[in-house]
Structure 1
Amino acid sequence: EQSRAEQSRAEQSRAEQSRALIKLMQYVFGYAMLPLSEIANVFRGEYITKKNEKAGNIPVILGGQEPAYYIDRANHTGEIVAVARSGASAGFVSYWDEPIFITDGFGYEVKKEVATPKYLYYVLKNKEIELNGMKRGAGVPHVSGERLGEINLPVPPIEEQKRVVSTLDRFDAICNDLTSGLPAEIEARQKQYEYYRDKLLTFKEVAAT
C-alpha cells in the first residue's frame, strides 16, 4: 500500500510538472505542440455485428462518414471525438455529444485541463487528409492507434481554444446548416444592404442661399 501511495504521488507530481511546462510554453509562444496522447485519452471501439444487435436509435460509428446503423445500446456517452479506423474513410473525424456505439474506430476523450472537445475536433478535422494518408495494410487498410497518438497538435490556452471554436461554429452553421445558417446569412446580408443603402442615400444638406 505504501508503494502504491508513493507511485501515485510520483505520477501526480509528473502530471503537475507537465501542466506547468504546457502553461509556460503557451505563455511564451502562444501555444504548445503536444502529441494527441497527451491531449486526450483514447477510447477503443468494441467489435459487434449488426445481426447480433437489436435495432434502436443509438448510432453505430463503424468507419464511414455516416453511422453504419442504429442499435439499442451505447458504449459511450458525453462529448467525444471519433476517428474512423478502417477502409476508404479511415481517418474521418467526427464529434459527438450524445450516446453512441464506437466499433471500428477510436474515440478521444480530452483531458479537460489541456483542451476542449470541440477544439480537438476542429484541429483533427483540419488534418483529415493527413490522417487518411496514414492508413496501411493489404485488403482493408487501417490507421494505427499508436501512430495517431504520436501526432503533434497545436494547443493554445483554453480561452483561446474557446474563441477559435466559437468562430468556427458560426462558419459551420452558415455553411452547413440550411435551417439556421441560411436565414443567418440572409439576415447578415440584409443588414449589410441596409447599411450601404443608408450610406449611399444620405447626403449632406446644402445651406439655403
Structure 2
Amino acid sequence: MLFGDVIFTGSSESLDEVGMTSVVTQELNEPIYLNSFCIGFRPHDAGLLDPEFEKHLFRSENMRRQIKRTANGVTRINVSKERLAKIEVPLPPLPEQRRIAALLDELDLLTNGLDAGLPAEIAARRKQYEYYRDKLLTFDEAPA
C-alpha cells in the first residue's frame, strides 16, 4: 500500500457495510499488504486526488450510493474490482479538495472529539458534518 491508496471492503454481511473505505493518509515505513477481503485502488495520477479529501469523499452519501449499486449477493454481499472501477469519482481542483477536507476534518473533530457527557452536541455536530459532507461532495453529473 502507498500514500493515497483507497482500500474497499470487498465482502460483508450487510449492504450498508460492503465497500466501506479507508485511505492511506500518511507515508508508510514498512510494507502493508491487502488481504483477500479487501480491494485496493491507486489513483492513476497521485496529483489528482488529495488523500484527506478521499477519506471523506468515499464515505459521502453520494459515493456510498454508487458503491452499493455495484454490490450483489444474498447471504454475503460482495463488490467486484471491475464494477468499483466504473464508479464516477468527482475531481474538483486540488485547492478546493484541500479546503473541503480541512472543513470536514474540523467538523469531524468536533463530532468525534467531544466527551461522552455531551450526547446532544455530538448528535448535532454529526448531522452538521453529514450535511456539509454531502453538500460539498455532490457534483453535477458530467454529460455523457
Taking structure 2 as the reference length, the TM-score comes to 0.61
* Aligned equivalents of 1:146, 1:163: Cα separation in 2: 31
Summarize the Cα distance change of 1:164–1:144 in structure 2 as closer, same or farther, 3 Å threshold.
same
State the 1:139 CA deviation: 4.0
Q: Deviations over 1:119-149 (max 9, x none)?
A: 2222211122442342113542210111111
CA distance in 1, matches of 2:90, 2:108: 21
Q: Which residue of 1 aligns with 2:98?
A: 162
Between structures 1 and 2, the one with greater helix share: 1
2:21 paired with 1:93: yes
Distance (whole Å) between structure 1 residues aligned to residue 76 and residue 96 of structure 2: 39
Q: 2:70 maps to what in 1?
A: 134
2:72 touches 2:78 (CA, 8 Å); kept in 1? yes
1:118 aligns with 2:43: no
| 1:116 partner amino acid | D
Contact 1:93 1:128 in 2 (8 A): no
Number of residue equivalences: 106
- Aligned CA RMSD, in angstroms, stands at 2.5
Higher strand share: 1
1:45 counterpart residue number = none
Q: Mind listing any 5+ residue stretches in structure 1 that lack a counterpart? A: 1-75, 186-209
Deviation string 1:49-96 (CA, Å, 9 cap, x unpaired) is xxxxxxxxxxxxxxxxxxxxxxxxxxx354432111001221112233
Secondary structure in structure 2 of the residue aligned to 1:132: helix
Question: What corresponds to 1:178 in structure 2?
Answer: 114
Counterpart of 1:119, as a letter, is F
Give the whole-Å Cα distance in 1 for the aligned partners of 2:41 and 2:51: 8
1:1-209 superposed matches below 5 A: 76-87=1-12, 88=14, 89-96=17-24, 97=26, 100-103=32-35, 104-110=37-43, 111-126=45-60, 127-178=63-114
The CA deviation at 1:158 is 0.8
* Alignment partners' CA distance in 2, 1:113 and 1:129: 26
TM score, norm. by length of structure 1: 0.44
- Identity over aligned residues, as a percent? 25
CA distance in 1, matches of 2:104, 2:79: 27
Q: Is the 8 A contact 2:4 2:46 kept in 1?
A: no
Task: Name the CA distance, whole Å, in 2 between partners of 1:149 and 1:167.
Answer: 28
Residue type at the aligned position of 1:94: S
Unmatched tracts of structure 2, length 5 or more: 122-144
Structure with larger RCO (C-alpha < 8 A, sep 6+): 2
